[in-house]
Amino acid sequence: MDANYYLNQKLGLTAEIRGAYGNAKVPNYNLANTVINPQISEYPFLAGPTYRLYRQQRYAVSVFALGGTAIGKFDGDSKGFTATQLGFWPSTNAAPAISVGGNLDINIYPNLAFRIAPSYLGTGFGGSWQNNAGFEMGLVVRFGRQK
């Protein structure tokens, strides 16, 4: 989820909250030889500038650079084992996080658009850097006066 506040037609401020969920795909074995595929989750909290490169009636293109922190839990449902015992990054309440990318907004109505946003997300769990590339897509709802 993003919240954007544009200071003028080009420059804006963005706050973003993300959530990623899944299971670790590497089987880990405990002493009883039972397979453990722990549930993992990650929550980045980011903020930073957004710059609009192109704006027309039907389309808009912008880029962003965000920084902040991420919370990670890498040992959910791990049958009593900690994340480090399973060979994963330790679960933590604060790790550095950055994201850079772009937004392509396809305007449907003046206050509604469809957004495709390819981005890079880097997190620093366990003293090492994790690199993730992907994209998000969804609806943009605009509130307030349009500049």
**CA 52 – CA 102 distance, rounded (Å):** 9
Domains of the chain: residue spans and CATH: 2-141 (2.40.160.20)
- pLDDT, one tens digit per residue, over 94-136 is 899 999 999 999 999 989 999 999 999 999 988 889 999 999 9
pLDDT digits (tens, 9 = 90+) for 70-104: 999 888 877 777 788 777 888 888 899 999 999 99
Please state, in angstroms and as integers, the Cα–Cα distance from residue 66 to each residue in 13, 49, 115, following that order: 10, 7, 18
